[in-house]
Amino acid sequence: MKRLLVIIMTLSMSLSLVVTASAAEGSFNHFIVTAPEVYPRFQDIDQSKWYGAERQGVIQTACDLGILNGMSSTQFLPEGNLRLNEAVKIACMVHSIYYGTQEDIQELPGGKDWAKPYFAYAVENGILPEEGLGEETAYATRAQMAYLFAHCLPEEGLMGINPVAAISDVASYEVEAVQYAQEIFVLYRAGVLTGDAEDHAFRPRDTITRAETAAIVTRLAILWERAKVEIFDKYGVTAACPEFGITNQSGEVLCMGQQPYAVLQAFADSEPLESTIMAVSGEYGENAMLFVTETWEGYSVNYYVGQMSPQEIYVDSITLTGPEVTILNGLGVGISTEELLAAYEGEELNYSPSQFVGDFAYWSDPYYSYQPGGDYPWCFINFIMDEDTTHIEKIRMSNLSPAL
């Protein structure tokens, strides 16, 4: 961890972290049950649905904390869409409870001007820009919601726990850039947002329901509800290979995919011979995702890590160059081609001869490639041979994205 922190600090020396007096006074301990009487009054919540009390119970949690209330005393409208002025109010409630400044919001009676105090509070506290985000009574987009929620807690309240380098529909290479992409990434990395269950897409231009909002509010306010994104979304393709990995002579194992940095540290048990680092998309900053290559005797590891979450990494590829480590099935550099073929008898090994790769202007050595398919269709191992194709001189384990 010390080594990685030094790398990150070196890149971030030009960045300064300003903590205001109010930030120093904020605390997640302020989020306590203050309105337990609100939720039982609602008559339109199906308790068996994902947001109901029999399942995740997120609406009850958000109401109990005094952050959400209903459209009336008996109606919550969980499937109804959230309006922008409602999103502003919710962001203000989270901010004011965290800092203990609820009295700074001078609520008005119901009516068309009910949201004015919240907009004033939001602008004053940096939650909302002075020019606003759009029509106040229009339905909020998911991107607008992300902007507000990313600014209602201080930086230390949204520390990263997930090394998310890309989100399939919030990618920097899109022709039409996604509005508030930086805020969306902050919330993903903090475990506040997870996106769709299947591919973690965010749908930034869609509206958001009040039930979905309750789930996000719950993760904003309660740290242990923050979600670990156990897969890594790479250029729109889910890629994680936890069963692929290497082992050393001490029996330590290092696998592909997301894991604590401490696992790599324990596996290596020494300083790397060489380290290189670059920012994804070529942009350095306090929220940048970094791509790191570290080399030890006999192997090198490529991984993604967030500057704000160095405790979690995503191992993208591993290259074996010597006999110091082997892959998990016991095969390593130096084995004969016959041994390789015997080990994978009955499996499909694809042979690629030595050839010039014109797109990248380099010669590719001959190799056998193995892809397991099944749960890990984008994982592969290349067994790179010597010129005589009699022995394996390098093994590369990686993720393959058809979008690349």
In tens, the pLDDT along 53-100 reads 999 999 999 999 999 999 999 999 999 999 999 999 999 999 999 999
Give mean pLDDT, residues 107-111. 67
Beta strands at 289-296 and 355-357: parallel, antiparallel or unpaired? unpaired
Specify which residues 238 forms β-bridges with: 233
What's the average model confidence in pLDDT over 288-306? 87
CA dist 213 and 216 (Å) reads: 5
**What pLDDT, on a 0 to 100 scale, did the predictor assign at position 228?**
82
Q: Which helix (H) or strand (E) holds 167?
A: none
Residue 367 and residue 349 in contact, taking contact as beta carbons nearer than 8 Å: no
Residue 298: predicted pLDDT = 96
What are phi and psi for residue 386, nearest 5 degrees? -75, 180
Beta bridge partner(s), residue 397:
318, 381
Residue 397's H or E segment, with its range, is strand 392-399
* pLDDT value for 259: 77
Q: What is the pLDDT of residue 280?
A: 64
Q: What is the pLDDT of residue 72?
A: 93
40-53 confidence digits (pLDDT tens): 999 999 999 999 99
- Mapped onto helix, strand or coil, the DSSP state of residue 343 is helix
Quick: pLDDT tens for 137-158: 999 999 999 999 999 999 899 9
- Residue ranges, comma separated, of all CATH 2.60.460 domains in the chain are 239-399
Helices 84-99 and 142-150: crossing angle in degrees, nearest 10, is 20
Query: What is residue 141's DSSP assignment?
Result: B
**Amino acid identity for residue 98 in this structure:** Y
Q: What is the DSSP letter of 276?
A: E
Report, in angstroms and rounded to the nearest whole number, the Rg of the chain calculated over CA atoms: 25
CATH of domain 239-399: 2.60.460
Among the residue ranges 130-134, 184-188, 258-262, the one predicted with the least confidence is 258-262
- 235-272 per-position pLDDT tens digit: 433 445 666 889 999 999 998 877 788 889 999 988 99
Quick: pLDDT tens for 344-394: 998 888 898 876 555 544 567 889 998 876 666 667 899 999 988 899 999
This prediction has a pTM of 0.64
**Quick one: pLDDT band at residue 182, thresholds 50, 70, 90?**
confident
Q: Where are the beta strands (DSSP E) in 297-376?
A: 299-306, 309-320, 325-327, 349-352, 355-357, 362-364, 367-370
Distance CA(284)–CA(288), nearest Å, equals 6
Q: Which two tokens stand for residue 158?
A: 């949204």
